[in-house]
Structure 1
Amino acid sequence: MDNWWKNSVVYQVYPASYQDSNGDGIGDLPGITKRLDYIKKLGVDIVWLSPIYKSPQVDNGYDISDYRAINPDFGNMEDFDKLLEKAHDLGLKIMMDLVVNHTSDENKWFEESRKGKDNPYRDYYIWRDGKDGQAPNNWGSFFTGPAWKYDQDSGQYYLHLFAPQQPDLNWENPNVRHTVYDMMNWWADKGVDGFRMDVISYISKPEGLPDAIKSKDEQYGNPEALVANGKREHEFLQEMNKNVMSKHQMVTVGEAPAVTTEEAEKYSNLNGNELNMVFQFEHMGLDGSKNPALGRWSNRKALLSDIRENLTKWQLALYGKAWNSLYWNNHDQPRVVSRFGDDSTEEYRVLSAKMLATMLHFQQGTPYIFEGEEIGMTNAYFKKLSDYVDLDSINSYHQLVDEQDLLDAPTMLKYLGMHSRDNARTPMQWDATENAGFSTGSTWEKMNQNYKEINVSKALDDPNSIFYYYQELIRLRHQLPVITDGKYELVERNEDDPKVYAYTRRDKETTLLVILNYTKENLERNYSVPENAKLLISNYKDDQDDRLRPYEAKVYQY
């Protein structure tokens, strides 16, 4: 079916943290296969696997050394084939992570490339001479430090927008592009149903690689404005579409930092000649620090007015032109119930998790659920730097505390507790046994210590759990065309309400009215709900008309 992904729901699995089958403390493919029945029970359509390729794991698999091999920690190709077969037997589609802005420095292409300027693979990467004994330009890495590393043996610098072990591919080289397309087709021919494309908006670098703007206090310039949505970006993706996606019934989503609604219309246009949809990050930056030097590191809560304004902008801008992706969580983001919700009490955790799910799942686009979101897993709130594994978190601590003295250690640890990527990567909480039923061994990432209270087993035993609420949201999306196709509109007078978010979805037959209390306060609001309206779903058992209880969410159909 064309555009089958439009009323589908995606479930993201972070393989290292989902289920360990052999006691080594690392999740693996047989473990995921074992849990596919659980994922099917939730009701989703697509399972997105974070990278499972062979990798030195410098950046948790986003540094790929062999695109056609499985990381031994996760199993082997036979294990993948079994996972794919069972998923398809259950009616689930498999989406792979595609990381082609950069590779690992242990990839055979890079190992050849660094052998010298005359090597056929030299131009697979971005090599430049230095300037006056310095790097080719002032770009900083997104993982702190410079974006250039000098290679003594071959006498030039290579570009790495992320870790030094993640050299950027040169997409100007047609051999690079077609090697990537061949690899994508190889996976598609195996039966893979789609790709999530890591930082795909960075692949077209600017001509001449000019310096980035930087303040006098900054050591390096931020290259994002120069590398995001580059001059040949859409040309490259249209070529990819022609060579790969047009030949298969695929779902594609591009991670697109710095994407605007105007650019998103090109990436995910309804003509279907590039991608199906993109991940934008604007709503993920609404609770960052007000000090630009600190970036996302803060512990302030996003204002509802900012969330509503941003989600509304994207809903209106793409309607009838392109397709939205809808998400609160992923492997790079802290847990939404701790971030935009309220995990201070068990009652508020459950209510606010359901409220946030309602806010997102009634909008137009394809929803993404990250493992554990469906049971309301929270941030881990680790107390010591040694508890953290994430490279970006550790680097940021040393930069902001030790090098720049912008924060003291207790404050930075508090900010890590709110925003570190480790919060998403703690192992899945299956039950109340040792290590939450994730592993019999010592776990690669420390467990969240609340697993005895928050786990799948407990959720499945409770008919009022967050799990069953998500299950109902997914069922409604599959059942009601208005959720997929209806027009979005803010309720009149709601643009300025600091505490309540109310919007409608409407097609020719049906109107849905979504009302959400973002606070723990009891509120009075009158939205003139028609007498014939039916309460479709709510996170409370009864309806009290114009009264909104703490974190109340309710959706009327008429």
Structure 2
Amino acid sequence: MGQPTPALPPTPGPARTGGHPHTPDWWRTAVIYQVYVRSFADGDGDGTGDLAGVRARLPYLAELGVEALWFSPWYLSPMKDGGYDVTDYRAIDPAFGTLEDAEKLIAEAREAGIRAIVDIVPNHVSDQHPWFRAARSGGPERELFHFRPGRGPDGELPPNDWKSEFGGPAWSRLDDGEWYLHLFAPEQPDLNWAHPTVRKEHEDVLRFWFERGVAGVRIDSAALPAKDPELPDFVEGRDPHPYVDRDELHDIYRSWRTIADEYDGVFVGEVWLPDSERFARYLRPDELHTAFNFAFLSCPWDADRLRTAIDGTLAEHAPVGAPATWVLCNHDVTRTVTRYGRVDTGFDFATKAFGTPTDLALGTRRARAAALLSLALPGSVYLYQGEELGLPEAEIPLDRIQDPMHFRSQGTDPGRDGCRVPLPWVADAPHAGFGSRGEPWLPQPADWQAYAADVQSADPDSMLSLYREALRLRPVLGDGPLTWLPAPEGVLAFSRAPGGPVCVVNLAEAPAELPAHTALLLGSGPLDPRGRLPRDTAVWLRR
């Protein structure tokens, strides 16, 4: 490692282009911001985020420098699972606004150089969906779901032993004795993707939103919709799995791809699979464009394991020519600042528990370094709302928890509401600037004002300022493949172009000497008095 030169003021990066609206492969390198509408910004002051609130905050998002917005479901829904229980894909839930509001938001975002990505949930619908209401009454619509008689002398046992992703059996029984399948909550009956009506409806919904100007679609639980028609009991190790990653899915996504190609639209799939070869099949040129990288998201704060996750991700994408996606947090997982401040810095749904000790100062330092690490990697980056503010996971009072994961676990799982708390915008305003009249739908912690966007905008050392500068400078890193550079144990160092800027992240105990460089472009924290990189700190260097 060479001797460091004194840190210089950041070199101005390329002018922000507002998302490069005419670049056809924008999605290969884009920074995409996830908007959980219910908690982003409240335009009418009733305590629930809405589309008017998002429209009002478009200047904030443009200044941040993101190129697209992924909207979690904004459709008509009873909200039994945060909107992932959809009643009507062609209608906006009144709590969020109207279809006209959505069209205005899509158009206004595009004018600001920001694309829109909507969320589609193909595995299931709400039990209030017209199809299921008719099916519940015994109509022919039962063929659109998975209805079966029960087992046991009187049909009192579920048709098979499948378990819900939220805990408990994956079956519920109607008054007429028939059982229906729901891999999630009972209010989310699974669709029968072997039925042509189900396929046609979703193809029509894709066209509906592409016609309204969206640039892409995020596919929820993308590996789950197809089921073994026999619905057999689950047997550990048996291949193929009765409902995960079945081969029939690929024909579905090929048909979707032909529709997306008509509109130059893109897909990103939520694909949780441990088998890299099976994962890559979803990214073949005639299927999905991208898929979320959960190996990186769930990886502990450890240099060797992070490097393995990065190498593995790039290797599994290489054969199909798809770009990797990098994400630190989303609406389902513990916020990064909190996760990195715990003894177990990885993420696993099974390990979530109330009262886990957390060092937020440590977690924040690591989250700042992780931001520079993820933004320097080749591919696209997904940024969950509030991560740019350094928000921690909130502890929700028991009487205010709404997440079905909590209730299905008999109260042992704290659920996902802690990462869904409404954002703080203005420190000295009621509810930190989220809603002027109504109490926010989830309570904000007492110290939320300290994280408010207006306070952070005025602080050059804040998390928000770090993200803004990182997104401004990101193009300087280049668009080439990652090349690892020699570094001490516990330190990650790489470049994206021969002789180009270098990203260095120190996860070791001791400060690290920096490689020879001509300028410090950006740091997640200050160097030590000897110009070394402290523990849990990252820098971008010009060579």
Q: Same fold (TM over 0.5)?
A: yes
1:230 corresponds to which of 237, 246, 254? 246
1:505 corresponds to which of 470, 489, 495? 495
C-alpha distance in 2 between matches for 1:347 and 1:458 = 18
Partner of 2:505: 516
Alignment CA distance shift 1:518-1:422 (3 Å): farther
Partner of 2:532: 547
- Contact 2:376–2:477 under 8 Å retained in 1: no
SS of residue paired to 1:69: strand
Partner of 2:17: none
Alignment CA distance shift 1:347-1:149 (3 Å): closer
Give the structure, 1 or 2, with the largest relative contact order (CA under 8 Å, sep 6 or more). Answer: 2
Partner of 1:18: 40
Partner of 1:65: 87
Alignment CA distance shift 1:387-1:304 (3 Å): farther
C-alpha distance in 2 between matches for 1:545 and 1:476 = 26
SS of residue paired to 2:450: coil
1:481 aligns with 2:458: no
Offset at residue 38 of structure 1 (A): 0.5
C-alpha distance in 1 between matches for 2:363 and 2:164 = 36
Partner of 1:557: 542
Match runs of 1:451-470 below 5 Å: 451-470=448-467
Quick one: which amino acid aligns to residue 435 of structure 1?
Answer: H
Partner of 1:380: 394
C-alpha distance in 1 between matches for 2:536 and 2:331 = 25
- Contact 1:14–1:50 under 8 Å retained in 2: yes
1:339 aligns with 2:339: yes
Quick one: which amino acid aligns to residue 207 of structure 2?
Answer: N
Cα deviations by residue, 1:288-317 (Å, 9 ceiling, x for unpaired): xxxxxxxxxxxxxx5444333223311233
Partner of 1:406: none
Offset at residue 543 of structure 1 (A): 7.3
Match runs of 1:322-361 below 5 Å: 322-341=322-341, 348=362, 350-361=364-375
Offset at residue 524 of structure 1 (A): 3.8
Q: TM-score, normalised by structure 2?
A: 0.86
2:175 corresponds to which of 142, 152, 162? 152
Alignment CA distance shift 1:348-1:340 (3 Å): closer
Partner of 1:409: none
Offset at residue 223 of structure 1 (A): 12
C-alpha distance in 1 between matches for 2:228 and 2:542 = 50
1:425 aligns with 2:420: yes
2:440 corresponds to which of 424, 440, 443? 443
- Contact 2:495–2:502 under 8 Å retained in 1: yes
CA RMSD of aligned residues (A): 2.6
C-alpha distance in 1 between matches for 2:28 and 2:393 = 30
- Contact 2:85–2:188 under 8 Å retained in 1: yes
SS of residue paired to 2:95: helix
Partner of 2:219: 197
Please list every run of 5 or more consecutive structure 2 residues that lacks an aligned counterpart in the other structure. 1-22, 343-356
Offset at residue 442 of structure 1 (A): 1.1
Aligned residues: percent identity?
Answer: 32
C-alpha distance in 2 between matches for 1:526 and 1:487 = 25
Offset at residue 444 of structure 1 (A): 0.8
Matched pairs, number: 501
Quick one: which amino acid aligns to residue 423 of structure 2?
Answer: M
Partner of 1:293: none
Partner of 1:260: 275
C-alpha distance in 2 between matches for 1:429 and 1:224 = 46
Please list every run of 5 or more consecutive structure 1 residues that lacks an aligned counterpart in the other structure. 215-220, 288-301, 401-411
C-alpha distance in 2 between matches for 1:213 and 1:34 = 51
Match runs of 1:411-422 below 5 Å: 416=414, 420-422=415-417
